[in-house]
Amino acid sequence: MKPIGTGRDIQLIGGLFLIVGTIDLVIIALFPAYALKLFGTAVTGPASFLVKLHAPAVHLLIGYGFLWLRPWAWGLALAYAGFGLVSEAMNQLAFGFSQIRSGFMATTLLFAFYLVWRRTTFIDEAMSENRPKPEPQELR
């Protein structure tokens, strides 16, 4: 069992992800015509609304997973960080240099390193403790 207080930083970050996911939904609802830039293209038109919903969905999932220290949330967060880094790098190439994109990339990279450093917070100890021990093999 983990000591009380272990992972509070990750839970706090999870709460922030829940707030960000909610704000994402509000922004998408208020500005439906906004053209999201992904992988060097600007997504426009009626289908763009559905494409834009990926961000709040993933932010809310990561927030939930971090809040409850779910092991799957660690992998999801790192995968989404990689998604964001590749997409923003391609946006830099397609749309020109942006200090905001560069700042996003730097903070995302730092966040990914932090998650790697805090990996043990996400280990599901209940699962490893309840795993049956192998029976000793006796010679007959």
Q: What is the pLDDT of residues 66-91, one digit of tens each?
A: 999 999 999 999 999 999 999 999 99
Nearest CA to 42 out of 90, 79, 106, 84 is that of 90
Question: So what's the pLDDT on residue 93?
Answer: 93
Domain annotation covers residue 115:
yes
Domain annotation covers residue 35:
yes
Query: Are the beta carbons of 122 and 68 closer than 8 angstroms?
Result: no
The domain total for the chain is 1
Domain annotation covers residue 128:
no
For residue 120, is pLDDT > 70? Answer: yes
pTM beyond cutoff 0.85? no
Q: Is 17 helix (H, G, I), strand (E, B) or coil?
A: helix
Domain annotation covers residue 133:
no
Write out pLDDT tens, residues 6-52: 789 999 999 999 999 999 999 988 988 888 888 888 888 877 888 88
Nearest CA to 98 out of 20, 34, 37, 17 is that of 37
- SS3 labels along 77-99: HHHHHHHHHHHHHHHHHHHCCCH
**Choice between 62 and 126, residue whose per-residue pLDDT is larger:** 62
Domain annotation covers residue 51:
yes
Range of the domain at 110: 8-123
Q: Is 45 helix (H, G, I), strand (E, B) or coil?
A: coil
The rounded distance, in Å, linking the Cα atoms of 62 and 60 is 5
Domain annotation covers residue 18:
yes
Domain annotation covers residue 137:
no
Domain annotation covers residue 57:
yes
Using CB atoms within 10 A of its CB, is residue 90 exposed (0-12), middle (13-18) or buried (19+)? middle
Question: So what's the pLDDT on residue 94?
Answer: 92
